[in-house]
Amino acid sequence: MPGILRQLSGLGGCTNPVRLAGHRTEHRLDTATGEIGPTLRRLDSNDLPAGDLLVRCGNRRTTRCPACAETYRRDTFHLITAGLRGGKGTPETVTTHPRVFATFTAPSFGPVHNRPGTRPCRCGRHHIPDDSALGTPLNPDRYDYEAAVLWNAHAGMLWRRFTIHLGREIAKRAGLTQRELPERARVSFAKVAEYQKRGAVHFHAVIRLDGPAGGETAPPHWASAELLTDAIRAAATRAVVTGPILDGHTHTFAFGPQLDTRTIHAPDFNDGQTLTDRAVAAYIAKYATKGAETATGTLDRRLRFVAELATMNLPAHAERLIRTAWALGARKDLEHLRLRAWAHMLGFRGHFSTKTRRYSTTLGTLRTARAEWRRLQTAIQRGEEPRPDDSNDETTLVLAHWTYSGTGLTPTEQWLSASLADTSGAPATEGGNAR
C-alpha cells in the first residue's frame, strides 16, 4: 500500500495518466574506451506497484484532467507575467515598454440571445447570467451556421494577416519603411483564443513594442502606448481573409467591430481601476485551459462518426455547428481546412495560446525546470548528492524501452487517488478506467 500511494502521489492529482510498460537502465560509460560498466539504476514497470509506469497526461482541458489543466494554467500565467514585468530570462525593463491588452471579436452571423446591460434582450426577456439560451440564435433557421464554422476555420489566418498589417501601420506612424522597422523596433505578443457562448472564436492578446532585439532592448523614442493602440486599431480593420465560394457567394472574414484596446497600467479597467500585469496574466491564463466545450457545451474530443451525436445530449446550437462542420468537411474544395477532424472544435484548428519568440520564456523551459527540480528532490530522498548537471553527464549511458499499455486509473487506483486528494485538501475529481 505505501508503494502504490507514493506512485499515485507522484502524479500530482492527474486522473487520466498514460500507462507505459518497459524498463529503463543507467550504466556507467567509459568515454575513452567505450566500455559499458555495471548497472547504476534500473526501473522496470513490472516492479512498480501499479504494474505500469504512470505518466501525467498533460492535457490542458479542465474537462479532461483538472490537475494537469491547472498546471498548464499556472505555466501560462508565469509565461504572460514574465513578458509584462520581467523574470525567467526576460529583463525587468519590459515594464517601461508600451504594452496594450486587446480583444478581437468575431463578426455577427445572426442575432442571438444576450444581456445588453440594463436593456432587455431582443427577445424581450432579461436573461440571468447562466441562462442556457444565452448565445443561441433568436431564429436558428436564419442564423448563418456555415459562415460561423468557416470563421473559426480562418481565424488563425486572420490573426496572421493582422500581425503583418500591424508592422506596416507602426512603420507608417513612425515615418519608416517596412524594411527599416526591424532595425528600430519589434512587436512582441502573446495571445489566447476564447470561445464565446455563440461558438465563435475571439482573441485576447498582450501586444508589446520593443527595441530591435526584443524585450532586451529599449524601444525607440517615438514608441508609445498611444501609437501602438492606434496602429492596432488600424491593422484590425485592414486584416481580411478571402474564404471559399459556397453557392456562388464568396466568403470574406474580418474581425468584428467590437475591438477593445486597453493600455496596461492605465486607469481604464474595472470602473477606473488600474489594469495591472497580474490582472492581465490571470485573465489570459484562465482561458488557456478552456475550449468550445466550456462555453457552448460541445465535445472535448474528436468525433469518429457523426452518428455519435445521436447518443449525446448536446445543446441544439452546438450540435448544429458540429453537423455543419462535418457536412462542410465532405467538400473537396474545403479539404484543406480539415473540418471533420476539428468538428468538435466547431472548425477552429489553431493553437489556443501562442506567442512570439522574444515575448518571454517558453512552456518547454518551464517544464524542463520543473523536471530538474523533481530530479534533484528524488536524488535527495535517495540519500544521493544532488548534481544539477547530472542530466548532461556524458559518462552515464541511459537505455530505455517503453510501450503504451493504456490510459487512466483502475477503480482501486481511482479510489486511492481520491483518498489522497481528500487528505491533502485538494478537490477530488473523477477519472477514467484503464484500458
157 has a pLDDT exceeding 60 = yes
pLDDT of 4 higher than 90? no
Buried b (16+ CB within 10 A) or exposed e, 390-412: eeeeeeebeeeeeeebbebbeee
The pTM for the full model equals 0.84
Which range (135-139, 345-349, 355-359, 410-414) has the least confidence? Answer: 410-414
Q: Are 155 and 254 in contact (CB under 8 A)?
A: no
Kindly report, residue by residue over 59-99, the tens digit of the pLDDT: 888 888 888 999 999 999 999 999 999 999 899 999 999 99
Tell me what the pLDDT averaged over the chain comes to.
88
Other Cβ atoms within 10 Å of 426 Cβ, number: 15
Of 209, 207, 206, the residue nearest 218 (C-alpha): 209
Alpha carbons 115 and 129: distance in angstroms, whole number? 8
| Euclidean distance between CA atoms 199 and 195, whole angstroms | 6
Q: Quick: pLDDT tens for 336-378.
A: 999 999 999 999 987 888 999 999 999 999 999 988 888 888 7
Task: For residue range 160-189, list pLDDT tens digits in order.
Answer: 999 999 999 999 999 999 999 999 999 999
* The C-alpha cell that represents 421 in the structure block: 486528494
- CA trace torsion 233, 237, 238, 243 (10° rounding): 140
Helix, strand, coil tally for the chain in percent (to 5): 40, 20, 40
The candidate with the shortest Cα–Cα distance to 240, out of 256, 225, 226, is 256
Neighbours of 425 (CB within 10 A): 6
pLDDT band (50, 70, 90) for residue 425: low
**What is the chain's alpha carbon radius of gyration, rounded to the nearest angstrom?**
25
- Interval 308-332 mean pLDDT: 93
Unique residue bearing C-alpha cell 494554467: 73
Q: Single out the residue of 322, 333, 96 nearest to residue 216, CA to CA.
A: 96
